Amino acid sequence: MWLLGQDTADLSRPDRAHYVIDCMPDYVTLRDNTTGDLTKLPVLQIWVDPRFRDAHRDPALRDYIKRRGEQDGMAALIRYSSTEAFTIFPPAIASDGEWHEKAGESEPDHKPLPVRVRVRV
């Protein structure tokens, strides 16, 4: 996304920031603990260099995630690899108006593909 320049002017170059915002969004499935209902929520995919695990705390990135929550109703999936990730819910989509970080479980039928061959049709 940094190369595309879509609302990313205040973000550092990925090689300096230690994260890359993927052009392809994904989704997470949320389960309502009361009703059991499932909801798919679109998420930004942000690939973080695992040697810099706190890079997602960059204030400019948090502002970007906050704007995507307000404008597009999106959360962010912070990925360290194709199998290790957690979701950040910005204030605009949280019922209490606060930031939340939540680890989750992968669905058995939803297996991530390696980045080099990720294709959406």
Give per-residue pLDDT as tens, 40-99: 989 989 999 999 999 999 999 999 999 989 998 999 999 999 889 999 999 998 889 999
In a domain, 2, yes or no: yes
State percent of the chain over pLDDT 90.
Answer: 43
Confidence at 33, pLDDT banded by 50, 70, 90? confident
DSSP string, the chain: -TTTTSS-TTSPPHHHHTEEE-SS-EEEEEE-TTT--EEEEEEEEEEE-GGGTTGGG-HHHHHHHHHHHHHH--EEEEESSSS-EEEEE-GGGSTTSS-EEE-----TT--PPPGGG----
The answer to whether residue 96 is domain-embedded is no
Q: Which domain covers residue 10, as residue numbers?
A: 1-84
Has residue 10 got a pLDDT over 50? yes
Would you say residue 75 lies in a domain? yes
In the predicted model, is pLDDT for residue 114 greater than 50?
Answer: no
Task: State the Cα angle at 109 between 108 and 113, rounded to 5°.
Answer: 105
In a domain, 62, yes or no: yes
Q: Which pLDDT does position 118 carry in this prediction?
A: 43
Is residue 71 domain-resident? yes
Has residue 112 got a pLDDT over 50? no
